[in-house]
Chains A and B, each alone.
Chain A
Amino acid sequence: MLVLQHLWIIPLLPMLGAAANGMFGKRWARTETNAVALGSTGLAFLATCELLREFRLLSAGQIPWTHSYFTWITAGTFRADYALQVDQLTLVMLLVVTGVGWLIHLYSTGYMADDTGYRRFFSYLNLFMFFMLTLVLAANYLVLFVGWEGVGLCSYLLVGFWFLKKTATDAGNKAFWVNRIGDFGFLLGLFLMFREFGSLDFASVFGRAATMPSETAAHGVLTAICLLLLAGATGKSAQIPLYVWLPDAMEGPTPVSALIHAATMVAAGVYMVARSNVLFLHAPAAMKAVAVIGCVTALFAATIAVVQTDIKKVLAYSTISQLGYMFLGCGVGAFGAGIFHLMTHAFFKALLFLGAGSVMHAMSGEQDMRRMGGLRKAIPWTYGTMVAAALALSGAPGFSGFFSKDEILVAVRSGPYASSLLYAIGVLTAGLTAFYIFRLIFLTFHGAPRYDEHHQHVHESPANMLFPLVVLGTLSVGGGWFAAPLLVGGANYFDKFLAPVFSGVRVAPAAEAASGGAAFLAALLGAPVIAGLAGFLLAWWFYIRRPDLPQRVAASLDGLYTLVAGKYFVDELYAFVIVRPLLWISTQVLWHGIDEHVIDGTVNGVAHDLDASGDRLRHLNSGNTRTYAVWVVLGAVALTTVLVWATR
């Protein structure tokens, strides 16, 4: 029971790695930096595996396993411990974070090999692992919030990693600010939660909430708490309306995009909603909000992804879209399916980003798909693994994404919170997903080369970059087979494993599966797969068969194309409605008005008045001895008068 007793080991290991590399790594060679960075995360992964083994020995009554290490804050009736907890949901997240995290660390040793900030990069990356592990291990909302803010900080540091590039630092700032808006909502939610329950511990909050009646009115306190938490989740997980930072965050190094902006950090919002499932289940209005936001975001981002030409931007919008699916799953009560999709998405989207990084590596940093083409012979390993990930993303039967995404869609169609409109949007998005991802594959790897073959020396990546690709490729193909029993009428192993965490769901999402395998199979293989196939064929028709067609379609739909290619001009809208008025107020009122006149005016005014009075007093010091004598006499007279007066 070593790790169960000492849960803090898991986050501490990467923290030590970050500290060692950050403080002492100056004279170390690459091999030592690698050993520390990879060793600390690898040990964290091994500790998680050991934790899994120990966890299986616990009886059901001991779960969630909570351990409080010390009291962090006490103030009045408020008390927050540094407490960590383990349950099934935590374990899944731990395995994803440490496993995928380690693979991405390994990949980075190849990808960042020529970078001057090598040591700084790994220090930040390890620090990120520390905060992410704190986030998923937290046993109360305050410790979770520490991790939540910490990953935001690391995201900022890593997006702006190449800080000499103005666009990169701007993108880092944008990510930070947009997240602040969401975090503000999150924090308000925590205040309200404390007022309502008197505690922020998961155990006591969920225990109290479970006994409360489900709120039918749209404005109960639980609904308010959940909507505020959702605001935080939309910031962190890049959902409408706060998704705008994620596409810009692609300015960071590609492994960062894979780890933070695809696999782990952006999934924190989904994790938090799933963790708070008891609260959300008692607030149906908030559930509906989660589902609608997720669904609309999924479609919205997918349409933008269709017309992007930057390989990483396509994947960024794809990530937003897939996160939308996860929220949709949570919003219809299929929390297990949402987390399942989180996990498979971590595999295949990390792989897609790493593959994109491998392509950029081969193309000397080129990101524009219009200047690629025909790369499949030059970089066959990257091609093969990326196709596997693309198939998983588009939900090809048998691949991991098929099980997770379609399980969400089945829950949307027939779960306890079913909605046919959301289902239709979800299926449409599935078709768009297949289209844009195979557009990416075809533009990058197929057709005639559109780059300068004489100057561009295309080369396959080294083994330390290909190994993570192959492992993640295997997981993308096989990572969904936990759900395989669904096909023959059994229960999803994954859902069964997570079921104790989501025991509040009225009807298990897999109920239909239990009732009849054939009907479920039909639902699973029905509309989403057909939509995906249609998307694939359309992409093939557009980009392999008739490469001239996309331009003509774009020309004939000029207005629509401009709208979508301009990302619906949401950035411009925000700039016009929020950023520019705020800048104007800050500059004209706060800076030139209050700061320059009121604050500086007070400080400078006092100094100026003292200076002026001193200047006048200066003339008393005339240098004329007799004048001084007069002052002395007058002083003596005054003193004597006072003395005589006082002793009278």
Chain B
Amino acid sequence: MVPISYYITLSAILFGLGVAGFVFKRNIITIFMAIELMLNAVNLAFVAFSRALGQLQGQVFVFFVIVVAAAEAAVGLGIVILIARNRKSLNVERVNLLKL
């Protein structure tokens, strides 16, 4: 059996990639995908722990996360389309009006 540390390590790497993508990429779509990557890294950790501990709560959480991610994707993509229409660009650095 594969030890749990493998799953956790994989999850951490995926999550780190997601963070890096979120912080360093400029394209909103890419950032969006980075967020999905982070969510699924967490899902992986949940499932791994659920399996290792023999409890079902982790798997239930995963379903919740998937539902939230689906809703977020619907709203987020809507926002992305509006930004693309208004700014004629997907560069996130041009979305900076919310400041003093």
Contact = CB atoms under 8 A, between A and B. Distances in A.
Interface of A: 618, 621-626, 629-630, 633
B99 A621 contact: yes
Contact of B96 (A618, A624, A630): A624
A590 to B, nearest CB: 42
A624 B23 contact: no
B23 A621 contact: no
Interface string B1-38: 00000000000000000010011100000000000000
B100 A626 contact: no
Nearest to A628: B98
Contacts of A624: 93, 96
B97 interface: yes
Contacts of B82: none
- Which 9 A-B pairs give the minimum distances between C-beta atoms? A623-B99, A623-B96, A623-B98, A624-B96, A621-B99, A618-B100, A629-B23, A621-B100, A629-B22
B95 interface: yes
Nearest to A623: B99
Contacts of B96: 622-625
B92 interface: yes
Contact of B92 (A621, A622, A625): A625
Nearest to A637: B19
Contacts of B93: 624, 626
B97 A623 contact: yes
Nearest to B97: A623
20 contacts: A618-B100, A621-B99, A621-B100, A622-B96, A622-B99, A623-B96, A623-B97, A623-B98, A623-B99, A624-B93, A624-B96, A625-B92, A625-B95, A625-B96, A626-B23, A626-B24, A626-B92, A630-B23, A633-B19, A633-B23
A621 B99 CA distance: 6
Contacts of A629: 22-23
A34 B100 CA distance: 69
Nearest to A625: B92
Interface string B64-100: 0000000000000000000000000000110111111
Interface residues of B, number: 12
Contacts of A626: 22-24, 92-93
Given A623-B98, A624-B96, 16 more contacts: A621-B99, A622-B96, A622-B99, A623-B99, A624-B93, A625-B95, A626-B22, A626-B23, A626-B24, A626-B92, A626-B93, A629-B22, A629-B23, A630-B23, A633-B19, A633-B23
A626 B22 CA distance: 7
A621 B100 CA distance: 7
Nearest to B95: A625
B45 to A, nearest CB: 13
A633 B18 CA distance: 11
Contacts of A625: 92, 95-96
A213 to B, nearest CB: 83
A621 B96 CA distance: 10
B23 to A, nearest CB: 5
A633 B34 CA distance: 14
B1 to A, nearest CB: 27
Contacts of B99: 621-623
A529 B74 CA distance: 118
Nearest to B26: A626
Contacts of B97: 623
B86 to A, nearest CB: 16
B9 to A, nearest CB: 16
Interface centre among A625, A630, A633 (most CB of B within 10 A): A625
A626 B34 CA distance: 13
Most chain-B Cβ atoms within 10 A of its Cβ — which of A622, A623, A630?
A623
A441 B75 CA distance: 104
Contacts of A618: 100
A622 B95 CA distance: 11
B64 to A, nearest CB: 20
A629 B28 CA distance: 13
A625 B26 CA distance: 10
A633 B23 CA distance: 9
B16 to A, nearest CB: 10
Interface string B47-59: 0000000000000
Contacts of B92: 625-626
Nearest to A633: B19
A599 B47 CA distance: 64
A633 B95 CA distance: 20
Contacts of B24: 626
A622 B96 CA distance: 7
A626 B19 CA distance: 11
Contacts of B95: 625
A182 B91 CA distance: 83
Contacts of B100: 618, 621
A187 B92 CA distance: 78
Nearest to A636: B19
A528 B11 CA distance: 120
A390 B23 CA distance: 104
A630 B19 CA distance: 9
A620 to B, nearest CB: 10
Nearest to B34: A629
A270 B95 CA distance: 88
Contacts of A621: 99-100
B100 to A, nearest CB: 5
A597 B56 CA distance: 69
Contacts of A622: 96, 99
B33 to A, nearest CB: 15
Contacts of B22: 626, 629
A56 to B, nearest CB: 88
A629 B22 CA distance: 8
A587 to B, nearest CB: 43
B26 to A, nearest CB: 8
A625 B95 CA distance: 8
A626 B24 CA distance: 8
A633 to B, nearest CB: 6
A618 B99 CA distance: 9
Nearest to B20: A633
